[in-house]
A and B are shown apart, each in its own frame.
Chain A
């Protein structure tokens, strides 16, 4: 985010470091209760990846078994990439790495924020080209509403009541150097 934008945006912290730790632990417990430890966690670039790693650590500590973790780049399946994109500014591609075949596995897609649902639609299409899982579930740290597609999360860290133009910022130590969730509201002009 640019300094210019930061100065115009008032940030309110909705989840601090300790609360985020508790939230991730609770999400891991919900996953365990629902599907046991026979599953694969698949983080979506960028912040879904450290979240998937954290969930895997929590699951590993609880069960003593290592849970496989993959990472998914959905760029080639996005609905705003390709001939519809207005300029030669295609997103940079990242690696998709799945530790094992996804056939006949329970897959948990992991992402930081669930908003329109378009990212998850692309992730589902990506997974379908890699195999045929028994089930695909969705775990997100924040559900902020405003879906544009019929998609719902199975495990939600925190549901936030937001307006469409509010900015939800999830920051994770592995990517951003700190843990926490903030909501940014556009400050009134001149106010």
Chain B
């Protein structure tokens, strides 16, 4: 499978990986490759989005994704407005639609949205003329995270095709796992989900992945091991007996990592719970690309902003 890069990202919004085709994903990754260099220059800024306004609408706590978007926006010279749920009128009962209408009165060109409800970015995209970029919606998708994970894998291995990728942890509550499954399937990689039965998603067959209830068998020949955080905030009840037991069965330890391919690398979208899903020796070890992920995240988000800039294409507005 040779994926040809698309010539343009001819769409208004990026709300999920499920809507993108392989050529568009390739174009985003190729563009990010060039934008990565901006951080290596004496002046880490280009004037491309001068005069554009980006609203960062974060209705859920986030540190690294929000910072990453903000750095990306600033490196492209866009003006940024930050809006978070606490201390805003959202906590006073305003609906998403009313918030968006009020924001549109300030004429932003982009809205980066993180929202606890799955589908909120999609809904917003239909309501407002600004380009919407999904920074994570409920348990649905986190497209920029999957793109930066893919970028990091491609940077290390040269191609995504044929890679065996283990995604382990709280799969059911993970939009990162879902977006990664969509993306890796489109790009010809093999995905293995590992979780206790209580944390596997219900619609796992639709995602085209294989599932494992134990980490060891999934690790065999694996090229990439992606560990996910236990999302205590999304669990209505505890799905496993104790953190200690979770560590004993599912944590990535140096011994378990030896079961993967010699060339295997370790990813984690953060924030990490050291001693729960990942051993510190692995997180800080030579096979870890966790800090590269953070650097690459800025370039990937710059690429999406760059490619979406400008008004809607005629073809898109006809549909």
Contact = CB atoms under 8 A, between A and B. Distances in A.
B313 A89 contact: yes
Interface of B is mostly: loop
Interface residues of B, number: 37
A130 B52 contact: no
Interface stretch (B33-41, B87-95, B255-263): B33-41
Contacts of A76: 38, 46-48, 76, 306
A90 B309 contact: yes
Contacts of B37: 95-96
B218 to A, nearest CB: 37
A35 interface: no
B9 interface: yes
B242 interface: no
A76 B9 CA distance: 17
Interface string A80-103: 011111111110111110000000
A30 interface: no
A73 interface: yes
B314 interface: yes
B41 A82 contact: no
Contacts of B106: none
A93 B36 CA distance: 11
Interface in B24-63: 27, 30-31, 34-35, 37-38, 41-43, 45-52
Interface in A98-124: none
A90 B311 contact: no
Contact of A88 (B31, B47, B308): B308
B46 A88 contact: no
Nearest to A132: B42
Contacts of A85: 309-311
B43 A88 contact: no
Contact of B42 (A73, A125, A131): A131
A88 B9 contact: yes
Contact of A89 (B8, B50, B51, B109): B8
B7 A92 contact: yes
Residue picked from A85, A88, A131, most chain B C-beta under 10 Å: A88
A90 B304 CA distance: 11
B34 A83 contact: no
Contacts of B310: 82-90
Contacts of A89: 7-8, 10, 310, 313
A90 B46 CA distance: 15
B47 A87 contact: no
B128 interface: no
A33 B23 CA distance: 49
A88 B34 contact: no
A31 B27 CA distance: 39
B52 to A, nearest CB: 5
A129 interface: yes
Contacts of B41: 129-130
B188 interface: no
A92 B6 CA distance: 10
A182 interface: no
Given A82-B309, A88-B313, 18 more contacts: A76-B46, A76-B47, A76-B306, A82-B50, A85-B311, A87-B10, A88-B311, A89-B10, A89-B310, A92-B5, A93-B35, A94-B34, A95-B34, A129-B42, A129-B46, A130-B42, A130-B43, A131-B42
27 contacts: A76-B47, A76-B48, A76-B76, A76-B306, A77-B46, A82-B48, A82-B49, A82-B50, A82-B309, A83-B52, A83-B109, A87-B310, A87-B311, A88-B8, A88-B12, A88-B307, A88-B310, A88-B311, A88-B313, A89-B310, A92-B27, A93-B34, A93-B35, A93-B306, A96-B37, A125-B47, A129-B45
Interface of A: 73, 76-77, 81-90, 92-96, 125, 129-131
